[in-house]
């Protein structure tokens, strides 16, 4: 609640610009205070408009959170792709992808949390029609695809999809717990150690 100059309204026909301002404000609030901080009223305050003005652009609070999660998934997929395009043998590249995943979670903890933290329930969003079945399937699929490709390149997997899921789960375990329990006495080499186990994917066992 600052006393700064009142916001200039957008010129006629440019009302859509407000949508971008809302999205940016929501992202800022997410990064600063986590998903709880992203309330309709807080977003409106940040933009400098009244809360009801948001309804012209979003159906409600959930629609904003969904868009934030969607954007974060796209970012993660991008980060993983960068990791996969490094040099080295397939095992190295899978390791790079894993490290890129963990780096994203470490550097963008609030965004990571809104994706995988159980903040919103995809199944429930589907029921309420906030999301289409297609969207529900697509969310995160691109990021998992990158992991699958890296696992496939190893050439030791008999079920690439399942093994990619295994790797993802291991990474998520560390990413998530480091996020919610930073005070835990994490071993110094926990990242390398975990990645070693996950990418060891012993072909004799499957």
What is the binding site for a copy of itself (CB under 8 A)?
Answer: 113, 116-118, 121-123, 126, 136, 159, 161-163, 165-166, 168-174, 176-177, 179-183, 186-187, 189-190, 193-194, 196-198, 200-202, 205-206
Residue 96's Cβ-count burial label (10 Å; 0-12, 13-18, 19+) is buried
Least distance in angstroms from the C-beta of 61 to a copy of itself:
16
Residue 89's Cβ-count burial label (10 Å; 0-12, 13-18, 19+) is exposed
* 135 token code pair: 């969207």
Q: Which residues contact 128 (CB under 8 A, 6 or more apart)?
A: none
* 146 token code pair: 């990158």
Closest residue by Cα to residue 177 from 44, 169, 81: 169
* The entry of a copy of itself, DNA, none that residue 189 binds, CB within 5 to 8 Å by partner kind: a copy of itself
User: Does residue 12 belong to the site contacting DNA (CB under 7 A)?
Assistant: yes
Least distance in angstroms from the C-beta of 17 to DNA:
6
User: Does residue 11 belong to the site contacting DNA (CB under 7 A)?
Assistant: yes
* The entry of a copy of itself, DNA, none that residue 138 binds, CB within 5 to 8 Å by partner kind: none
In the complex, the residues that contact DNA under the rule CB under 7 A are 7, 9-18, 39-42, 48-53, 55-56, 60-62
């Amino acid at each position: 609640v600052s006393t700064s100059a009142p916001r200039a309204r957008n010129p006629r026909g440019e009302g859509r610009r407000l949508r971008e301002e809302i999205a940016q404000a929501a992202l800022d609030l997410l990064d600063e205070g986590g998903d709880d901080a992203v309330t309709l009223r807080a977003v409106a305050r940040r933009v400098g408009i009244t809360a009801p003005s948001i309804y012209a652009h979003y159906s409600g609070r959930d629609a904003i959170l969904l868009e934030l999660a969607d954007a974060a998934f796209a970012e993660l997929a991008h980060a993983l792709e960068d990791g996969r395009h490094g040099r080295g043998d397939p095992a190295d590249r899978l390791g790079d992808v894993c490290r890129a995943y963990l780096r994203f979670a470490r550097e963008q903890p609030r965004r990571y949390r809104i994706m995988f933290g159980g903040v919103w329930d995809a199944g429930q969003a589907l029921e309420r029609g906030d999301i289409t079945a297609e969207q529900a399937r697509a969310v995160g699929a691109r990021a998992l695809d990158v992991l699958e490709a890296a696992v496939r390149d190893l050439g030791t997997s008999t079920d690439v999809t399942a093994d990619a899921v295994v790797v993802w789960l291991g990474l998520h375990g560390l990413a998530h717990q480091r996020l919610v329990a930073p005070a835990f006495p994490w071993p110094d080499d926990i990242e390398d150690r975990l990645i070693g186990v996950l990418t060891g994917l012993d072909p004799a066992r499957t």
